[in-house]
Amino acid sequence: MKAIYVKEPGRLEIEEIPRPKIKKSTEALVRIRAAGICGSDIAIYHGTNPMVVYPRIIGHEMTGIVEAVGSSVSRVVPGDRVIVEQVVGCGSCYPCRIGRANVCSHLKVRGVTLDGGYQEYMVVEESALHKLPDHLELEEGILIEPMSIAFQVISRAEVNSQDSVLVYGSGAVGLSVIKALRLTGAKIIAADVTEEKLLEAKNCGADVTLRSDAPEFVQQVRQTANDGDGPSVAIETAGIPGALEEIVKVVCNAGRIITLGFSEKPGKISELQITSRELDIRGSRLQNHLFPQVIQAVSENKVCLDGMISHRFHFTQVKEAFALADQKDPSVKKIVLLFD
């Protein structure tokens, strides 16, 4: 079978490798049919993801069809259409013991520290498999994973209907967050540097859209909520240096700030900004057992995944797909690799 490796930064190759075999009674063999390209995959390719271990079969958004199962498997049967969960916790460290395996002290992530979904077949534990809704195409199913990231963000921010929420960045992650926020009843303020992305944010449910590169941006955001004091929640989805410093300026006193970025560059946030206003600054990483919740929301048509995929490539065209993702064209949303 074929697999897509990032051998080292800047070196992407398709190789022939042996098809994996079921070795434990709790494992299942999945034939991969679709895999998404995420910003973190691009970062791995460019060598800017600090978490990855090379060489690596990348890809953490993957769906497929169960081909065979071990003798103890009961959650799925051959023929089931499934999505593969990316998080693998150890189960015994402090984060795992308190139910936060997504930040396990010994965390493994498919496509980052474990081989991921850019391969024709995978063997995984049955606990990592979740059946897709019948109406959802396999290529659309890969969107469950980024939507679970959005659900994790909202959980970490403890958003409720009384909140006003700034989503700073209206790329693929930001749009997923906006769609998930609609379930909370909160007021949604979207910010980005391009009009095309702001139009998408509006179509996804943002109540207010603002150019984040406008000179008066801070004042504009603060005027949108809490009598001019600013939104109660700010979510940084742009993943660019300096974004956290910007949103600290706009959130109201007692506000919550959520960041998803992996920038290693030090910022310039003073203790006074945090302490005097009693701000909560929280990280949000991956997702914590939220695939079932997202799948249920999609099944009940509470979350719409339509229109989030803009381009499709056969997996043998992965270099062309990555080149397109690198162009930063605002018309490019989710790119999907299709497997035979």
Domain extent listing, the chain? 2-143+305-338, 149-283
Convert the pLDDT of each residue in 253-309 to its tens digit: 999 999 998 777 777 898 999 999 999 999 999 999 999 999 999 999 999 898 889
**Can you give the pLDDT at residue 315?**
98
Whether 337 shows a pLDDT value over 90: the answer reads yes
What are the angstrom distances between the C-alpha of 290 and each of 10, 229, 272?
A: 33, 33, 35
User: Residue 123 pLDDT more than 90?
Assistant: yes
Give the model's confidence band at 333: pLDDT under 50 very low, under 70 low, under 90 confident, else very high: confident
The confidence score (pLDDT) of residue 306 equals: 85
- Considering the entire predicted model, what is its pTM? 0.94
pLDDT at 15: 97
| Cα separation, 40 vs 108, whole angstroms | 15
Rounded Cα distance, 313 and 334, in Å: 11
Quick: pLDDT tens for 173-208.
999 999 999 999 999 999 999 999 999 999 999 999
- CATH entry 3.90.180.10 includes domain 2-143+305-338: yes
Which pLDDT belongs to residue 239? 79
CATH number of the structural domain 149-283: 3.40.50.720
Q: Which of 309, 321, 285, 301 is nearest to 200 (CA)?
A: 309
Q: What is the DSSP string of 91-111?
A: SSSHHHHTT-GGG-TT-EEBT
**Average confidence score pLDDT of the chain:** 95
pLDDT for 240 equals 80
pLDDT > 90: what percent of the chain? 88
